[in-house]
Chain A
Amino acid sequence: QSALTQPPSASGSPGQSVTISCTGTSSDVGGYNSVSWYQQHPGKAPKLMISEVSKRPSGVPDRFSGSKSGNTASLTVSGLQAEDEADYYCSSYAGNNNLVFGGGTKLTVL
């Protein structure tokens, strides 16, 4: 069982927006502005999409955005495109050199 809770699935039609949640505790998500989001296509390594809650690394489309409220972080994908269909994972620093991950959300573009 993963430390952070994500919905197992999410879906949306092309052009729509979808939001994926990531719920932790005050010891991880709520305690640090250190939430990252990763996109993983089948058979590939995860790719960093969001760091430090809401920062986009170079090359990541601005359709991807992140936020946090209390112990829950969120990833929003706007203007859904077919290539956004993938698994998405959140992670958070949890203090004492501890990194925790969510169980992943499968995003389907209808």
Chain B
Amino acid sequence: QVQLQQSGPGLVKPSQTLSLTCAISGDSVSSNGVPWNWIRQSPSRGLEWLGRTYYKSTWYYDYAVSVKGRITINPDTSKNQFSLQLNSVTPEDTAVYYCTRGQMRYGMDVWGQGTTVTVSS
């Protein structure tokens, strides 16, 4: 049974960097062609896919246009986890952040427990 366990701070100051980690059990971050995603949910923006990473002979990264330039998703094969960094945050980035496994075409079949992140001074 695949499980995702999220960790990271729940409060971030404006202009700083939001950092979250998603630890994987029951699968590998390096599984061939399996995408590992970050999705957020807020009352104002609803569910929003942020980006993904996957390994297929090399590492690939795809990011949503809405956050491109501010976002980095990194796999950590030594710890079997992946991370999200979102720079220059504003109160608009306040949301529940989820890590997931899944293809866009086939659905997100495994979700982390969610982390509520508030951007406030």
What is the interface of chain A, defined by CB distance below 8 A to chain B? 2, 32, 34, 36, 38, 44-48, 50-52, 57, 89, 91, 93, 97-99, 101-104
Chain A residue at smallest Cβ distance from B44: A1
Count of A-B contacts judged by CB separation below 8 Å: 57
Which of A47, A48, A52, A57 has a CB less than 8 Å from the CB of B105? A52
Q: What DSSP secondary structure best describes chain B's contact surface?
A: strand
> Is B106 touching A51 in the complex (CB atoms < 8 A)?
yes
What is the interface of chain B, defined by CB distance below 8 A to chain A? 46-49, 62, 64-65, 98, 102, 104-109, 111-114
- Nearest chain B CB to A38's CB is how many angstroms away? 8
> Is A101 touching B47 in the complex (CB atoms < 8 A)?
yes
Chain A residue at smallest Cβ distance from B96: A45
Chain A residue at smallest Cβ distance from B4: A45
> Is A91 touching B62 in the complex (CB atoms < 8 A)?
no
